[in-house]
Homo-oligomer: A and B are copies of this chain.
Amino acid sequence: MKLTGKSIIGFREGAAGSEDFHATNPKTGERLPQDFFSASPQEIDTAVNLAHEAFAIYSRISGREKAVFLRAIATNIEAIANEIIELAEAETALPKARLQGEVGRTCGQLRLFAQVVEEGSWTTPRIDRADPDRKPAPKPDIRSMLRSLGPVVVFGASNFPLAFSVAGGDTASALAAGNPVIFKAHPAHPGTSELVGQALRDAVRECNLPKGVFSLLFDRGNEVGTALLKHPLVKAAAFTGSRLAGKILMGIAAGRPEPIPFYAEMSSVNPVFILPEALRHHAETIASGLHISFTLGAGQFCTKPGMVFLPEGEDASSFLTQLQKSVGGSSPFHLLTGAIQSSYRSGLVARKAKKSLRLLAENQHSDPGQSVGAALFETDAHSLLKDPELAEEIFGPATLLVRHSDRNELLEAARSLEGHLTATIHGTEQDLDDFSDLIAILERKVGRLVLNGFPTGVEVSHAMVHGGPYPATSDGRSTSVGSQAIFRFARPVCYQGFPNAALPEELKDDNPSNVWRMVDGEMTREPISRTQK
């Protein structure tokens, strides 16, 4: 594959505009050679119109055909995996092993959605059969299932240049549900984006799908994304990024003449609760796991544990000793972009200036230009309740220990939490009995509760929920990871009094696609007769 630096608009290249930009190698600070060009307003409009045209066809192809397409994307990505990984390493400073894992995760995601749409029950078909003899009025035949929404805009995330970028979870789930995607590439890894975009575009072509099923637009700032979100033919959008940007985009989506579903996964501090018995018996294991978790990917995961509650007193000493040692001795980290670097650095400066915080450990290193060190702070629950700033996310390898003097203080702190993606509890059986009310409080605050584990490492599976109440996401009823992510890009449509011939396959009497359906209130895969028994 050859980089062009130009947007991919259906099967065409965008023109080279005047606004160009470059990726930077975060390890060296060097500018990478390839020129990239922001999409023009005309190109944005063309991409959306192509998507709108493609929707008429793409929304009606079968699950089997969509599965072939999703698998073709995975195959095409794997064919150029080495090239992608090499460029992604230069653009993101993420280590090769991590990027290899991310290629695997991305292709695994595509294949999971292929499996889901091939099987077809995700469309949630429901059939209430007619009863012509019902009094006072005959009961009509009523059937419903999920249908796709229309063109979906996906914003690439900086921290997952593959799994939450061009062919990542948002794109995969939107395509799986039957929606064309217009992808706004993240300017920090444009080359990686283009390579994956070419692989995706080629899959569209190989599967004889309409060209508008996928476009990729470059933008060095935020004008392209804003224009896409405002476009009247766009019917939904997904975003992963900062709370600031997410909130601005939420306002745009809600303020359109036709408001549209907008799924932003914005920010989360992912509180961890270490309960007394667990601290007493497993201090070192927890400390070691916590250190790995909050520094994984240089602390640039949305599920990084950024706040750790533990009791005051002697039992914490071996935990603290080990954690301080690990943090002090850790290697320097390279962050994804210059902006993230300076924001991390200023975050540390601000925390160090807080009287209510103590710096317990910091990794000092000799390369202050391009790398940063891990940091460990401590405060108490009382200070946290008084100063909500302490609960804000610092994107990077830092975390905050919050000591509490008793059970009530802990529960009060838990009740004061805003919405997060995850909450983690370390506890023995005894602890869980003693703190069952803590679980009840946290259930209302997060999308995922983790017991005796760590929140990083989000499984891509059927039961995963990577979501959570605002402000963790814009819509706490959804997940952006796992097969349930597909439900974000569909809505139910009901067919009353339709003959078999005019119904979608999933709703036909004889159930040719063998999907699970709710028939007169009961789950079944059996074919049905037209009227009730």
A contact residues vs B (CB 8 Å cutoff): 56, 59-60, 101, 115, 121, 126-128, 136-137, 139-140, 142-144, 147, 149-150, 250-251, 254, 258-261, 419, 429, 432, 436, 439-440, 443-444, 446-453, 457, 459, 461-465, 467, 469-471, 474-479, 483-484, 490-499, 501-502, 516, 518, 520-521, 523
Residues of chain B lying within 8 A (CB to CB) of residue A495? 448-449, 451
Instruction: Determine the residue in chain B with the shortest Cβ distance to A470.
Output: B258
Distance, CA A447 to CA B491, complexed state (A): 8
Residues of chain B lying within 8 A (CB to CB) of residue A101? 136
Distance, CA A275 to CA B46, complexed state (A): 34
Residues of chain B lying within 8 A (CB to CB) of residue A139? 459
A142-B464, A457-B137, A523-B523 given; A496·B128 CB < 8 A: no
Copies in the complex: 2
A451 touches B502 (CB 8 A): yes
A440 touches B497 (CB 8 A): no
A447-B494, A451-B495, A499-B429 given; A463·B128 CB < 8 A: yes
Query: Which of A436, A464, A483 has the largest count of B CB atoms less than 10 A from its CB?
Result: A464
A497 touches B463 (CB 8 A): no
Instruction: Determine the residue in chain B with the shortest Cβ distance to A124.
Output: B484
Distance, CA A147 to CA B260, complexed state (A): 24
A448 touches B258 (CB 8 A): no
The 6 closest A-B pairs by CB, nearest first: A465-B494, A126-B463, A448-B494, A254-B254, A128-B461, A451-B497
Distance, CA A150 to CA B432, complexed state (A): 24
Distance, CA A450 to CA B496, complexed state (A): 5
Residue from B147, B452, B457, B501 in contact with A443 in the complex, judged by beta carbons closer than 8 Å: B147
Residues of chain B lying within 8 A (CB to CB) of residue A136? 101
Residue from B493, B501, B502 in contact with A465 in the complex, judged by beta carbons closer than 8 Å: B493
Q: How many Å from the CB of A477 to the closest CB on chain B? A: 4
Distance, CA A490 to CA B487, complexed state (A): 14
A449 touches B60 (CB 8 A): no
Distance, CA A261 to CA B261, complexed state (A): 11
Instruction: Determine the residue in chain B with the shortest Cβ distance to A476.
Output: B491
* Residue contacts A-B, CB under 8 angstroms, 25 given: A59-B444, A101-B136, A128-B459, A128-B462, A128-B464, A137-B457, A142-B464, A144-B484, A147-B444, A258-B469, A258-B470, A432-B499, A443-B493, A447-B491, A447-B492, A448-B494, A451-B495, A451-B497, A451-B498, A453-B497, A462-B518, A463-B518, A478-B491, A483-B521, A523-B523
B142 touches A463 (CB 8 A): yes
Query: Which of A444, A448, A484 has the largest count of B CB atoms less than 10 A from its CB?
Result: A444
Residues of chain B lying within 8 A (CB to CB) of residue A516? 523
Q: How many Å from the CB of A308 to the closest CB on chain B? A: 17
Distance, CA A150 to CA B144, complexed state (A): 28
Residues of chain B lying within 8 A (CB to CB) of residue A60? 440
Query: Which of A59, A447, A451, A471 has the largest count of B CB atoms less than 10 A from its CB?
Result: A451
Distance, CA A126 to CA B461, complexed state (A): 10
Residues of chain B lying within 8 A (CB to CB) of residue A439? 502
Residues of chain B lying within 8 A (CB to CB) of residue A121? 523
A462 touches B521 (CB 8 A): yes
Instruction: Determine the residue in chain B with the shortest Cβ distance to A496.
Output: B450
B461 touches A496 (CB 8 A): no
Other A-B pairs, 4, CB within 8 Å; known A101-B136, A453-B496: A127-B463, A128-B459, A439-B502, A443-B493
Distance, CA A497 to CA B464, complexed state (A): 12
Residue from B436, B451, B494, B521 in contact with A464 in the complex, judged by beta carbons closer than 8 Å: B494
